[in-house]
Structure 1
Amino acid sequence: MNTLDQLKQFTKVVADTGDFESMKSFKPIDATTNPSLILRAALIPQYKPLILDALEYAKTKTDIIEMQLGFALDKVAVNFGLEILKIVPGRVSTEVDARLSFDTNGIISKAREIITLYENAGIDRSKILVKIASTWEGIKAAKVLEKEGIHGNLTLLFNLAQAIACAEAGVQLISPFVGRICDWHKKERGVDHIDPIDDPGVHSVTEIYNYYKKFGYDTEIMGASFRNTGEILELAGCDLLTISPALLGELENSSKKIDKKLSASAARRKEIKRIDIDEKRFRWMLNEDAMATEKLAQGIRSFSADIIKLESVLMKLLDN
């Protein structure tokens, strides 16, 4: 049994890509996308029909080009999601515009629009996870949406305060990032390598996992943003892990024997202090964590920049 198949015995494996052709051989349960992945996929010639379909849809909604752009952006993301759902048996995550990350009402409105597009295509909302940045405003929006049966994937999550707030809000799933945390610490320490067993990103997800299982939260934990297979294997046993096609390929081509590293029963036996989170505590704990503060802001900026680049691609086509 290869390493990927062994991992699947402990953890639900999710493909992290907008290139749905690349995921077919790995047979993931779910798939996730984000603006950066969609931008890269949108530039692949074989996916141009999905772009053109989105543009035609936008033109039926309004004659104003600037407004067409917004409709086209949503439809592009949903079109990729629809194709992904032809491959994966589970769910697909589709991201809300990162520029709404501090706008609770804007997030709620955009999430509803995304779900409507999926439902108009015959997809039940239970198959969709709406990705929202783990800001206080994003978590408040997710709490409202969950009550409507619109399930969230709270992303750009870097510390325990964000995770606890999500769980208390009843969010369906969180995506704590591993690789980006490690990137920050390597730069801070002036080193180019940290062993997976000592990886601060691995430790962060482990801490969140143990806290959730200790106190019986239902929110799913999906480790994300991996830089190497070592990080992945240190989290074997996590509810889900979302992995790029390149790393899925490495795992599939490996025969390394692995062990389950995370266990709910072991977590319940740990001595862990419960933390009560309100807005003041959330913002303070985030403020006191330089890494989480910087990576959250950087992640929002990065996703926003890629949305603007995708808008530029679409605008050129709309002008033609």
Structure 2
Amino acid sequence: MALIADTLNFETLGMHDLHGTTINPRSIIGAIDADSVFYHLWTAVKQTLDERVRRRIPNSRLVKASLERFLFELGNIIMYRVDGPHFTMVDPRRHNDASSMVRNAQRLVSLFEEKDIRRSKVVVSIPATSEGLHAAQELESEHGIHTNLFLVSGLIHAAACAEAGATTITIPVGRLLNWYERKRKAAYKDLSTHPGVETIQSTLEYFRLHGIKTKVIGSEFRALSEIGPHAGFDAICISKDQADGLQRCQISTATLRLSSSAHLRARQAQYPTSFLSSKTGFMEAMSAETRSMVAATLFVPLGEMKAQMDSLEEIVEKEVVRQFELTLTTVDLKGFYGTPVKKRKSRVSDGSDSGRAGLKRGLAEDLGLEEVCSSQDTDDVF
């Protein structure tokens, strides 16, 4: 199995034998206070503000454009340490808007290409919603952009993602096992009897039976002991602690014996599918229990990601305003505004909260930045 690092700890990235990297809102928020990470936020904002005229970035998009460049800056520095592929991401808050996700992905990939990083080394992670599947299909077929549909819950869901032509899909193993354990109010010391493992087995067997090219990745393992029995994955995502743990211990990658029920489910599942051409989508092909599983493994984490992205965007917004403040305190204000400096003094304050509010009002009036001050506003991968 290929090992994909789900961490922004640069020491870990340089220490282990890894085959790829990924970022997500949780890992970014967890590392944002580190100087090595915040530096790339500062760089992203500065680059965006410096280039806003040349790139014709509307004032209303400065914060979101800075956030996109921040994702690129992180990916760029990570790829110096690990020789790809790198899994970047669209904003998961756009999961119900295929067109928006397509544009977001295109802008991200163009930033990498401007640094001479081939698009074949970049995979764009997209939530595996109905709109996400359509976005992945367009990006793969019309733009040659690799996609990863993540938060995939089971066989039917995975089959729909394969129909979209995604380069990879990601199954959140821990969330899936948790759902079965809560549903059945049982703990499974022996993974060979775990119904969640059977669901994963049937999905992997379905892809094997039909020679589907889409690679299957496992993520969110709750413990190192869960990795070995899932050796059928093409790759796994591991955290910093898991990467360190793998270096210290030996884990058997012997696969569990495929159960007859998992094999039967894989053989009986429809292939090829026609979910993308159906007006009802893949959800209607699922039982009530399976829809409940999708809600737990897809829509609940999307709610968590929304909160994380809101927090991250607020941090980016503050840095955008801070850098404007720094600019205003270092330029010749008389020449900048064409009016006497004294009329503008109240807008460049001593850094108090009221002064910052005045600064924001000044930016809004003088530079048209009302929105900046508001948070509303083909190579194989492995």
Q: Give TM-score scaled by structure 2 length.
A: 0.74
110-119 or 175-184: which moved more?
Answer: 175-184
Letter in 2 for 1:45: D
Alignment of 1:251-270 (within 5 A): 251-261=246-256
Q: Tell me the residue number matched to 1:248.
A: 243
SS of 2:151's equivalent in the other structure is: strand
Q: In the alignment, is the contact (CA less than 8 A) between 1:132 and 1:153 conserved in 2?
A: yes
Q: In the alignment, is the contact (CA less than 8 A) between 1:104 and 1:140 conserved in 2?
A: yes
Q: Give TM-score scaled by structure 1 length.
A: 0.88
Counterpart pick for 1:91 among 82, 85, 90: 85
Q: Tell me the residue number matched to 2:232.
A: 237
Q: Relative CO higher for 1 or 2, CA cutoff 8 Å, sep ≥ 6?
A: 1
The answer as to 2:114 corresponding to 1:120 is yes
Q: 1:55 to 1:238 in 2, by over 3 A?
A: same
Q: Tell me the residue number matched to 1:284.
A: 284
The answer as to 2:203 corresponding to 1:213 is no
The alpha-carbon deviation at position 39 of structure 1 amounts to 1.8
The answer as to 2:131 corresponding to 1:137 is yes
Structure 2 CA distance for aligned equivalents of residues 214 and 254 of structure 1? 33
Structure 2 CA distance for aligned equivalents of residues 76 and 198 of structure 1? 44
Structure 2 CA distance for aligned equivalents of residues 274 and 191 of structure 1? 27
Structure 1 CA distance for aligned equivalents of residues 266 and 65 of structure 2? 50
Q: In the alignment, is the contact (CA less than 8 A) between 2:202 and 2:266 conserved in 1?
A: no
Deviations 1:192-245 (A, max 9, x none): 665433444433322211000101110001111111112211111321111112
The answer as to 2:16 corresponding to 1:26 is yes
Q: 1:191 to 1:97 in 2, by over 3 A?
A: same
The alpha-carbon deviation at position 262 of structure 1 amounts to 8.0
In our comparison, the structure showing a higher alpha carbon Rg is 2
Q: Tell me the residue number matched to 1:108.
A: 102
Counterpart pick for 1:187 among 174, 182, 203: 182
36-45 or 199-208: which moved more?
Answer: 199-208
Unaligned runs of 5+ in 1: 1-10
Structure 1 CA distance for aligned equivalents of residues 33 and 177 of structure 2? 29
Q: Tell me the residue number matched to 2:173.
A: 178
- Runs (4+) of structure 1 exceeding 6 A deviation are 267-271
Deviations 1:124-146 (A, max 9, x none): 10000000000111111111101
56-65 or 83-92: which moved more?
Answer: 56-65
Q: 1:146 to 1:119 in 2, by over 3 A?
A: same
Q: Tell me the residue number matched to 1:77.
A: 71
SS of 1:234's equivalent in the other structure is: helix
Q: How many residues align?
A: 307
State, as a whole percentage, how many aligned pairs show the same letter.
27
Q: In the alignment, is the contact (CA less than 8 A) between 2:149 and 2:169 conserved in 1?
A: yes
Counterpart pick for 1:160 among 139, 155, 159: 155
Q: Tell me the residue number matched to 2:295.
A: 293
Q: Tell me the residue number matched to 1:35.
A: 25
Unaligned runs of 5+ in 2: 323-382
The alpha-carbon deviation at position 295 of structure 1 amounts to 2.5
Q: 1:299 to 1:194 in 2, by over 3 A?
A: farther
